[in-house]
Amino acid sequence: MATRKGEQIGFNGWLAVKITNVVGTMWCAYAFAGLALISLPAAIAAGTAPLIAWIAQTFLQLVLLSIIMVGQKVAAAASDKQALQTYKDAEALLEISDELHKLLKINNAMTAEIRTLVQHNA
């Protein structure tokens, strides 16, 4: 069985991923637009209702399918980038917090030592 990032997806999952990666490209949208445009003259010649049906059923479904998939990929990539940046920011804040905690421990120890010295000298 095929795996993807450590998870088993089987043949059907593998095939679905391959098809999605091909259909979800602008090149596929261009190919679908070209394919849809081949039947446009016949739809125009048939009248208004067939033309509207061609637009709704052929052009929009074929072409917009790929364009929407491309848009989702772009949005997902942007979301992943933002999530990674948020993770890096949180990691940096944790490091700063750890350093501050260490400095506070040193400060507390020094304060206690100063108090001890002051009490002994008083």
In a domain, 115, yes or no: no
Question: According to the model, what pLDDT value does residue 2 have?
Answer: 52
Cα distance from N-terminal residue to C-terminal residue, the chain: 79
pLDDT number for residue 83 = 95
- Domain assignment present for 120: no
Tell me which of 3 and 94 has the higher pLDDT. Answer: 94
12 found inside a domain: yes
Please indicate, yes or no, if residue 93 is contained in any of the structural domains.
no
What's the confidence (pLDDT) of residue 121? 82
pLDDT in tens, 74-99: 999 999 999 999 999 999 999 999 99
User: Partners of 4 in the beta sheet?
Assistant: 7
Is 38 a member of any domain?
Answer: yes
Tell if the pTM clears 0.85, that is, is over it: no
- 105 pLDDT band (50/70/90 cuts)? very high
Instruction: Report the C-alpha gap between 7 and 44 in whole angstroms.
Output: 49
Within a domain: 112: no
Domain that holds residue 67: 3-87
Answer whether residue 26 is part of any domain: yes
pLDDT tens column, 38-67 = 999 999 999 999 999 999 988 888 888 889
Sequence-ordered list of residues with C-beta below 8 angstroms from that of 29, at least 6 positions apart, any chain: 63, 66, 67, 70
- The pLDDT score that the predictor gives to residue 58 is 86
Residue 99 lies in a domain: no
CB atoms within 10 A of CB 33: 14
The DSSP code for 57 is I
Number of domains in the chain: 1
